[in-house]
Amino acid sequence: MRLFNGHLKLDEASLKKVFLMQLSNIYCVRSYLIANLPIMAASASFNDLKNAILESVDEMKIQLLRMEEIYRIIGEEYAIKHCFGVRFLTIEAYVAIKADGMTKLEADLAMLCYLNAIESLEISCYKALCDIAESLPEDDLRLLLKQNLDMAKDSKELYELISKEYLK
């Protein structure tokens, strides 16, 4: 294993380039989920799950507003992405919960597994953005990203708590 001792630093332009790429990815993911999670919520049989998904969608709308503020701060605009990975993951989730022979409770738990996976992906993306933002000069980025990261963590924690209801 090779350890680096800090000699591999990117310049500010390179950091901003990677930052914008990641920001556009998470913006795409959140936009897609805002449009599609209500469809998944409608399939939930447990009201707490349905409400948690819809609450998560409302929080994602707030996260998008923060990301739009980040774009404004750094003088950039959202570059359209396709976020195929999350699109396919949500399609796979929808197919799984509609599979023949699944009870409503089984479908709910399967849905929660996918929701947890999606939130884990988003948390990782926000963490990477927070790390990069530490090296960028705009201080406001860190706070906005931290708020979005905290919301994503809260959603994941809520999904995990609801999952435990199915396991008792």
57-61, 77-81, 111-115: range with lowest mean pLDDT: 77-81
Three-state secondary structure of 6-51: CCCCCCHHHHHHHHHHHHHHHHHHHHHHHHHHHHHHHHCCCHHHHH
Instruction: Extract the tokens encoding 12.
Output: 């500010």
149, 135 Cβ separation under 8 angstroms = no
Is pLDDT of 140 > 80?
yes
Instruction: Give the pTM.
Output: 0.90
Per-position DSSP letters for 103-119, written without gaps between them: -HHHHHHHHHHHHHHHH
The mean predicted confidence, pLDDT, of the chain is 93
CA angle 29, 166, 57 (to 5 degrees): 25
Q: How many helices (H) and strands (E) does the chain have?
A: 5, 0
Write down all domains in the chain, each with its CATH number in brackets.
12-167 (1.20.1260.10)
